[in-house]
Structure 1
């Protein structure tokens, strides 16, 4: 029988078709001490993980929903800000003393998959923006679903969050799935020449709140 650790409530009863908690393990990181809580999403077939720091409690929990991005998270790609956002979120949660980072697999390329994302990146290198590239490939602009993230938070006993995100659709999705968003906390990463067009597309075509871009016109 698995022994639950302090600060990670025992799993709530969920049907097999939903998200099932599988394992909890200590995970020391360069950003601080976390607990990795592993889940299996029986509906989508994805394996998910929540990194929990301290004792988050139930309300106003500092939370990041981070979409998987191999090129940014693992390889340090400068064409996006994903890796920097993940590191910043982990640092913020550790500095807060408690919180949750839900790492969402199956979200690669805003849900289109790794190879399709690379194909889209090839089109971006030819001058298309991220929205245009997906459309040119006959793919959704954003195919991500946050239902599993909401169910993971519910399983962890979280009722309301302070959401580390610039994306209003994440907030809307959590509310739609029954998680209250008490506050949306900006997660702004300084842009570079390689990702400025990408970030502007997120702001102008996907409604991301990125006010810091106004100060970097010199990178154009």
Structure 2
């Protein structure tokens, strides 16, 4: 399969606003939630690599999905979480949010999860996040307090979403397409609006608090402005 390269203009990308995406792989996945197509991309932005999980009835000859244009497309912009999504750490709800998003997309009949592994720890990196987990465990800090203490700054979320929007545009998602974003994070809604999407709705993706996640969820709601009963993606 030959790589497929395109240049996409997106707010939140590199200086100049243009991102070069190269699709380097595509293939089917059979998951507990259902059958999807998975795409692998390399980008020339800060984050470097993206994956997309696509639910659609058919692909075109160019291997791009053929979405129904007048029906709302359910989308999740998913940041990496090695501790939760890979190693099943129970102090966050990232794995459960991803699974719930996939189940909803399967039921809706079409949709996309765009995943950026490099955005672990709100873009601060996995090593940084591990430090905050240690501080939460030993010092009794919540996720926000630990991040601020370790960073020495209130700026604890470095994520940008231009690359994820560029992936959606590569996949044929037009600005006129009705979009429903599965998130509790208002910044992700703002990313669509700033990139000219005209019909954007938010769908909460709330995972009930446990004795391990309650403090984590409260901190995100109170200090980071996340919506929906304290849960956020």
Name which of 191, 206, 219 aligns with 2:224: 206
Residue 49 of structure 2 corresponds to residue 52 of structure 1: no
Aligned to 1:152: 167
Aligned to 1:128: 141
Using the TM superposition, name which of 181-190 and 39-48 deviates more.
Answer: 39-48
Using the TM superposition, name which of 163-172 and 139-148 deviates more.
Answer: 139-148
Output the CA distance in 2 between the equivalents of 1:136 and 1:180: 39
Offset of residue 176 of structure 1 = 1.6
TM-score by length of 1: 0.86
Offset of residue 71 of structure 1 = 1.0
Aligned to 2:7: 14
Instruction: Please list every run of 5 or more consecutive structure 1 residues that lacks an aligned counterpart in the other structure.
Output: 4-10, 214-220
Offset of residue 72 of structure 1 = 0.9
Aligned to 1:217: none
Offset of residue 17 of structure 1 = 5.1
Output the CA distance in 1 between the equivalents of 2:124 and 2:2: 35
Output the CA distance in 2 between the equivalents of 1:45 and 1:83: 21
Offset of residue 127 of structure 1 = 1.5
Output the CA distance in 2 between the equivalents of 1:110 and 1:186: 19
Residue 128 of structure 2 corresponds to residue 83 of structure 1: no
Output the CA distance in 2 between the equivalents of 1:187 and 1:181: 19
Moved over 4 A (4+): none
1:141-162 superposed Cα distances (whole Å, 9 cap, x missing partner): 1111111100001111113420
Quote the RMSD (CA, aligned, Å): 2.2
Name which of 19, 39, 42 aligns with 1:40: 42
Instruction: Please list every run of 5 or more consecutive structure 2 residues that lacks an aligned counterpart in the other structure.
Output: 9-17, 58-66
Residues 23 and 58 of structure 1: CA distance in aligned 2, closer, same or farther (over 3 Å): farther
Output the CA distance in 1 between the equivalents of 2:195 and 2:132: 30
Question: Secondary structure of 2:118's match?
Answer: coil
User: Is the contact made by 2:6 and 2:21 (CA closer than 8 Å) also made in structure 1?
Assistant: no
Q: Hey, which of these two has a bigger chunk of helix by percent?
A: 1
Aligned to 2:15: none
Residue 105 of structure 2 corresponds to residue 93 of structure 1: yes
- The count of residues paired between Structure 1 and Structure 2 equals 206
